[in-house]
Amino acid sequence: MSTRKPNDFKSELKPIWCPGCGDFGVLASLYRSMADLDLDPSQTVIVSGIGCSSRLPHFASTYGIHTLHGRPLPVAMGVKLANPELTVIAVGGDGDGFAIGAGHFPHAARRNVDITYLVMDNEIYGLTKGQASPTSLYEQKAPSTPFGNPEDPLNPLALAISAGASFVARGASFNTKALTELITQAIEHKGFSYIDAMSPCTTFNNTQESWKDAVTDVAPEHDVTDRVQAFDLALRGGFALGILYRQERLSQTERYKAILEKAKPSDVDTMLDGFNARKGAAIGKPA
């Protein structure tokens, strides 16, 4: 039974988001999920990039690392590999994760880095005042796409499934109860958990009402262990909320643990002995 309350995870800083911003709902869900899981704040690290949503670590009373635009995933990986005991949650927006940081996403997924990645997807760049993002719709008008967006949007869920994420889900900021449950399951999952949290930007791309109308639940008969079904749901399933895919597979942490167990213990003096010129140092080979 958890002794912690969601409020215990609030920092003394108040969110600087616009009134009505979806990120409030995501943050509230995260507080509640951390409380439900009874996470020790000093053993929890929230990692973010740059953007409106990436300010989130400042609003939580855990350890946090507010990194560079697009870089939360490799930073989070370093944190987790250095100390596997920590609970590591990466957060950010769609621009941070799928434009500038897109190069890191498939690698975090295929490595099955044991972290949770929560993307607040508003299909727009909010902090820079409304330009099109990688998830903006075709023909969407924005300051940088005055003739309508000539590009098709990226599908983060399909990308996550194809790249090897072992937990893939969609939630929505306006459905905090379900989102809390998804975050909880994602944190509990061993391996790379990706949650696409629909989180409307009420200032520059107010999709709140249309999204509320569009969302459905993932059908109860959907088999979350079937990757092809999950991929189909990601591509053709509209805005189904819930878990699309879940796979049990060794996490990066477990794989490196196995490497450490295989390595024959040594020390610097033994290694220096290996270079002894008189005994025939093995050139070029770390034998």
Closest distance of CB 128 from other proteins, Å: 15
Instruction: State the minimum distance, in angstroms, from the CB of residue 141 to other proteins.
Output: 31
- Could you say which of 28, 61, 162, 203 contacts other proteins (CB under 8 A)? 61
CA distance 90 to 103: 16
Site for other proteins in 38-57 (CB under 8 A): 41-45, 47, 55, 57
> Is the CB of 1 or the CB of 283 nearer to other proteins?
283
Contact between 244 and other proteins by CB under 8 A: the answer reads no
Question: What is the smallest separation between the CB atom of 224 and other proteins, expressed in angstroms?
Answer: 28
Q: Nearest distance from residue 284's CB to other proteins, in Å? A: 7
- Answer yes or no whether residue 63 interacts with other proteins by CB under 8 A: yes
Q: How far is the CB of 110 from other proteins (least distance, A)?
A: 10
| Residue span 99-128 as binding mask against other proteins, x where in contact by CB under 8 A, dash where not | ----xx--x---------------------
Stretch that binds other proteins, among 198-206, 207-215, 229-237, 265-273 (CB under 8 A): 265-273
Largest CA distance in the chain: 78
Alpha-carbon distance 25 to 193, whole Å? 19
| Strands, E assignment, 142-253 | 167-172, 193-198, 215-217, 239-246
Does position 7 interact with other proteins (CB under 8 A)? The reply is no
- Tell which one of 19, 150, 220, 280 touches other proteins (CB under 8 A): 280
- Name, in order, each residue with C-beta under 8 angstroms of 281's C-beta and a sequence gap of 6 or more: 274, 275
Q: Is 267 in the site for other proteins (CB under 8 A)?
A: yes
Q: How many CB atoms lie within 10 A of CB 171?
A: 27
- Contact between 23 and 53 under an 8 Å Cβ cutoff? The reply is yes
Of 107 and 212, the one with the shorter C-beta distance to other proteins is 107
3-state secondary structure 207-233: CHHHHHHHEEECCCCCCCCCHHHHHHH
What's the closest the beta carbon of residue 81 comes to other proteins, in angstroms?
6
Task: Report phi then psi at 244, rounded to 5.
Answer: -90, -35
Q: For residues 228 and 281, which CB has a smaller minimum distance to other proteins in the complex?
A: 281
DSSP bridge partners of 44: 87
β-bridge partners, 241: 217
